[in-house]
Every structure is written in structure tokens, then in C-alpha cells.
């Protein structure tokens, strides 16, 4: 099954905040540079690359010298607005080092729900790919909140990356996280936890392992990744969950090496 990843032409890469920001809150410039190098080189191989990137609030906190996320939604949105500009500034600088043009798309859920706006988003991404440009997609944190019956929020960028994968019929979604894949238990607390190399169906048993709301992984992040994988599998796609500490791992994944968990 992994061999077919070598043939993947259109690939969505999702990076979480843990790849972009050190635990101390500073920006991981090494990882960002490695990501820019890797994705630019994949473009040189004629692959079509879409980057779904978290990190706006993390970068904003760093830029504003704030050591923790503020409590109110307007404050968080302000931090995200500052952080998104700074994040794109860093991405632009690093990608241009490798002569790779990027573009920014900020999406909200309602854009995807309405046929006309969904078509516009799809057309924009398709045109950027045709021009050899890497779209950098994030949720529009400054307006994306659940308010009354106007649902604007994706929930998280795991879901957003799965929706983008579906929208543009990508061959694979590579989700880079702070864990090596999907385990039978939390590997941080249980040394006997085993890594699932391949998963073909998302069932209740797996969702229980991920923990749902009271997650055994602490944050509920694994549950969200399984739900994203469920969406990808429902459309006959492939998703790989792997550790994003060294983004050049993407080369090995696309070479068919046994890394992370393959959902297919």
C-alpha cells in the first residue's frame, strides 16, 4: 500500500502548531525552513503541493511577547490577526529562498458549505496549482466562531485539511503532529503502547482509544485526527499521520517508507 505514495502527485501537507512553535513559545525557524525546503523541492519534482498551516495564535503570542493565550475571544482574534501576518511573512521569506512562490487563503466553514463560494475556492486553488504556486491555507481565526446558527468554524485544522483534500481530490494528506502516529495507548505514559502501521477503517473501538472528549492523550487531539482520517477514507483517499519534528520526513513518507500511521 505504501508504494502507491510514490505515485502521489497532488498532496496536502498539514502542520500543527507543535511543528512551528517550540514548547517555550518561540518560533521554530529550523522546522519552518526545513518545511519550505522540502515542499519547494517537491514542487521541483512537479508535484502539486497545498500547505494547511496552524500557528497564527502561537506566532501572534510570540510577536506580542505574551506568555499565554488571552481569555476573551476578541483578544484571541486580535492575536491571531497579528500572528497570521507574521507567519506569512516568515513563510514568504523562507520559501523565496528556494525560489518558490506561495499564496494565502483564509477560509471559514460557510465558504465551503455554500456551492458558489466553494466553487470559487476550488477554482482559486486549482489556478494557483496550475501556476506552480503553493497555497498556504488556514482557518480565518478573526471571524471563525460559532455564533447563533451561523456556523463558520471548521473545528480545527485537522478537519480543514481533510476538507481541502476532499475538495481538490488530492492523492494524499500528510498530517504532521507531535506524535509518531496513532498508538494503542498514550506512548508518553505507557511504554508498551504499540503503533498502528496501517488503519483501513475508523470504528468505535479506535475512537474509544483516541479518547473522545476525555482523551487518554490529554488534549483530544487524536480524536480530531481520527475524524479527519474518517473523512479522507470516506472519499477513498489516503492519509498519513507522522511526527513533524523534522519536516523533511515527508520525503521518506512519499518514498513509501514505514513511517507513522497510514490510513487507507
Which parts are annotated binding residues for ATP? 14, 177-178, 219-225
- CA dist 188 and 91 (Å) reads 31
Q: Are strands 239-243 and 261-263 parallel, antiparallel or unpaired?
A: antiparallel
**Known binding site: residues?**
14, 54, 141, 157, 177-178, 219-225
Cα separations in angstroms, 139 against 57, 58, 111, 136, 149: 11, 14, 11, 10, 19
Q: Which three cell numbers stand for residue 137?
A: 491555507
User: Residues marked as binding for substrate?
Assistant: 54, 141, 157
Hunting for cell 480524536 — which residue is that? Answer: 223
CA distance 184 to 206: 8
Beta bridge partners of 173: 12, 239
Which residue matches cell numbers 483516541?
210
Amino acid at each position: 500500500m505504501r508504494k502507491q505514495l510514490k505515485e502521489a502527485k497532488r498532496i496536502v501537507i498539514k502542520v500543527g502548531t507543535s511543528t512551528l512553535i517550540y514548547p517555550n513559545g518561540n518560533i521554530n525557524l529550523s522546522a519552518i525552513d526545513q518545511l519550505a525546503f522540502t515542499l519547494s523541492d517537491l514542487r521541483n519534482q512537479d508535484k502539486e503541493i497545498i500547505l494547511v498551516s496552524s500557528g497564527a495564535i502561537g506566532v501572534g503570542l510570540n510577536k506580542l511577547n505574551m506568555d499565554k493565550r488571552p481569555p476573551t475571544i476578541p483578544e484571541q482574534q486580535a492575536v491571531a490577526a497579528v500572528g497570521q501576518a507574521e507567519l506569512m511573512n516568515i513563510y514568504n521569506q523562507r520559501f523565496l529562498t528556494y525560489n518558490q512562490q506561495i499564496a494565502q487563503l483564509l477560509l471559514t466553514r460557510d465558504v465551503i458549505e455554500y456551492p458558489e463560494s466553494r466553487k470559487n475556492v476550488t477554482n482559486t486553488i486549482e489556478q494557483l496549482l496550475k501556476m506552480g504556486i503553493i497555497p498556504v491555507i488556514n482557518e480565518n481565526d478573526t471571524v471563525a466562531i460559532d455564533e447563533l446558527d451561523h456556523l463558520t468554524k471548521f473545528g480545527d485544522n485537522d478537519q480543514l485539511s481533510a476538507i481541502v483534500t476532499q475538495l481538490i481530490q488530492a492523492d494524499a494528506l500528510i498530517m504532521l503532529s507531535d506524535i509518531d502516529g496513532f498508538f494503542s495507548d498514550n506512548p508518553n505514559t505507557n511504554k508498551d503502547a504499540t503503533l498502528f502501521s496501517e488503519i483501513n477503517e475508523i470504528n468505535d473501538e479506535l475512537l474509544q482509544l483516541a479518547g473522545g472528549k476525555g482523551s487518554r492523550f490529554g488534549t483530544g487531539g487524536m480524536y480530531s485526527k481520527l475524524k479527519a482520517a474518517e473523512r479522507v477514507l470516506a472519499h477513498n483517499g489516503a492519509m498519513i499521520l507522522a511526527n513533524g519534528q523534522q519536516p523533511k520526513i515527508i520525503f521518506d513518507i512519499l518514498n513509501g517508507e514505514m513511517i507513522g500511521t497510514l490510513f487507507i
